[in-house]
């Protein structure tokens, strides 16, 4: 079994645990569903934005990246559609997204520090999967990964 397959199995397990944690927090009433919607959907959306941005960071989107995106994150993109999604949302998931993402992390930390740490690990694992998926790790991908990690500080 390749490392990326091991990462994928670990991601699926940790993602399931994160969703369970989100449900538990919602049950306590600590999450403002009226303002933010379902907690797991809120953070899954942010994760999808980070992942799509990471995929496009090296200036190319490959079939392998699309395959791993679909297999690990429950999407059903083909290469052309993913490129179109990125092109139409590039501005929304660009630099201005960073502030929204940081706000989301601050909210998560305030609601449940342990779940915030689990989300950080989950996102790091997702990034590792995407970076390794096409077999080529570029400087641009590493820079984007470091940028994502800095958003948690």
By three-state DSSP, how is residue 32 classified? coil
Sign of CA dihedral 69, 70, 76, 79: positive
Which of 5, 38, 46 lies closest to 19, judged by CA? 38
For residue range 97-118, list pLDDT tens digits in order.
888 899 999 999 999 999 999 9
- Rounded-to-integer distance, Cα 135 and Cα 52, Å: 17
Q: For residue 140, give its domain range.
A: 3-151
Distances (CA, A) of 4 to 32, 68, 102, 140: 36, 9, 28, 20
* Predicted pLDDT of residue 138: 84
Q: What is the mean pLDDT of the chain?
A: 88
Categorize the per-residue pLDDT at 2 as very low, low, confident or very high, splitting at 50, 70 and 90.
low
Categorize the per-residue pLDDT at 19 as very low, low, confident or very high, splitting at 50, 70 and 90.
very high
Q: Which two tokens stand for residue 5?
A: 């397959």
Give percent of the chain with pLDDT exceeding 70: 99
* Predicted pLDDT of residue 108: 96
Q: Which two tokens stand for residue 114?
A: 């342990």
* Predicted pLDDT of residue 13: 94
pLDDT score of 6 more than 90: no
- Rounded-to-integer distance, Cα 95 and Cα 115, Å: 25
Based on the structure, what is the number of domains in the chain?
A: 1
For residue range 80-101, list pLDDT tens digits in order.
998 888 888 877 777 778 888 9
Assess contact for 4 and 129: CB atoms under 8 A. yes
């Amino acid at each position: 079994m390749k490392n990326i397959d091991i990462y994928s199995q670990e991601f699926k397990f940790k993602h399931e645990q994160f969703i369970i944690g989100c449900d538990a927090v919602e049950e306590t009433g600590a999450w403002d569903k009226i303002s933010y919607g379902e907690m797991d959907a809120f953070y899954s959306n942010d994760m999808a934005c980070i992942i799509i941005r990471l995929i496009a960071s090296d200036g190319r989107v490959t079939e392998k990246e699309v395959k791993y995106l679909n297999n690990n994150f429950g999407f059903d993109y083909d290469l052309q559609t993913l490129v179109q999604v990125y092109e139409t949302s590039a501005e929304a998931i660009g630099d201005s997204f960073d502030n929204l993402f940081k706000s989301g992390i601050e909210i998560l930390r305030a609601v449940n520090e342990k779940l915030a740490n689990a989300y950080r690990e989950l996102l790091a694992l997702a990034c590792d999967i995407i970076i390794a998926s096409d077999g080529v790790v570029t400087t641009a991908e590493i820079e984007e990964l470091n940028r994502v990690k800095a958003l948690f500080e």
